[in-house]
Amino acid sequence: MDAGIIKTIGRLALPLAHISIFIIFFWFGFLKLLGVSPANPLVEELLSKTLPFITFGQFILILGVYEMIIGVTFLIKGLERVALTLLIPHVIVTTLPLILLPQIAWHGAFSPTLEGQYIIKNLAIVALAFSLIAHIRPMGTERQLR
């Protein structure tokens, strides 16, 4: 029975990973486009510290579309490399509040606020993305491992 469960989970793991990461990025990006993302105040504060010459309205639309594109690229088989290329700068930028906005991200040493926890959970997204990339063949080979 154990082997059967593991085999079934093995067959479902990659498709579920693709769908999960798509939902996270597409949904959160879409909320930004609608102007109802709970992350908007954090984004606005970070923007004022890093790119004050861009209006929040412009940036949030660009960020929302960018996140939706990340989600779509993770959903489409064969675009994993593109997805990872888009994900890396996104993760770097979304981690910046831990350093640049400590009053928002931390209660104290090693005690993140809810916003800080929201950012730190991105480690799980990075690990999920890496696991998806680990299942594709290097460039120049005929077919992907699946």
By the 8 A CB rule, do 68 and 29 touch? yes
pLDDT above 80 for 145: no
Quick check: 105 and 119 in contact, CB under 8 A?
yes
- Looking at residue 142, its pLDDT comes to 62
Residue span of the structural domain in which 83 resides: 2-133
Alpha carbon dihedral 16, 22, 27, 32, in 10-degree steps, equals: 160
pLDDT at position 137 is 83
Say if 145 falls within a structural domain: no
**71: burial class by Cβ within 10 Å (0-12, 13-18, 19+)?**
buried
Residue 138 lies in a domain: no
Asked if 104 and 97 count as a contact pair (C-beta separation under 8 A), the reply is yes
Residue 86 in any domain: the answer is yes
Rounded to the nearest integer, the mean pLDDT of the chain is: 94
**Span 73-100, pLDDT tens digits:** 999 989 999 999 999 999 999 999 999 9
pLDDT at site 143: 58
* Structural domain includes residue 83: yes
What pTM value is reported for the model? 0.90
Total number of domains constituting the chain = 1
